[in-house]
Amino acid sequence: MTLAQRIDAATREVEKTRRRLPAPVREFANQIPVHYEARPPAHILEEGYPDDILGLFDGSAHGEEVAQDQPMPPQISLYLDNIWTFVEQDRDAFVDEVAVTYLHELGHYFGWDEDELAARDLD
């Protein structure tokens, strides 16, 4: 799959995943932009994130005031080359992992930490 094909597949899967969410959750999820990038940009790596990170939630969690150091609204980034590598170039696994990674990052928006995400099978 080319990057353009991965972006298309990921976009469709995120939309499909959003439609399956309960209505109250879906309302919030639809307001959070999702960015599809090949790999994390340099400034993310400089913050200490690993270069093979699959996705990232950036912004203040739901119910929290917008932090002074977070002037941007909440957003999710999915790093599609990293996901593609993680699933060993398997198209079906790629689509599944996009959904899991998206839900994982959406969970951070709701304030869930890594243990809470794992308890929901979103790790």
pLDDT in tens, 27-41: 989 999 999 999 999
How far is Cα of residue 114 from the mean position of the Cα atoms in its chain?
A: 14
pLDDT for res 121: 64
CB 56 within 8 Å of CB 49: yes
Q: In order of start, what are the domains of the chain with their CATH numbers? A: 3-119 (3.30.2010.20)
Share of the chain above pLDDT 70, in %: 89
Band (pLDDT 50/70/90 cuts) for residue 71 is low
Instruction: Count CB atoms within 10 A of the CB of residue 59.
Output: 19
Q: What is the mean pLDDT of residues 13-40?
A: 94
Does the pLDDT of residue 113 top 90, yes or no? no
Enter the pTM of the model: 0.87
**Rounded Cα gap, residues 31 and 56, in angstroms:** 16
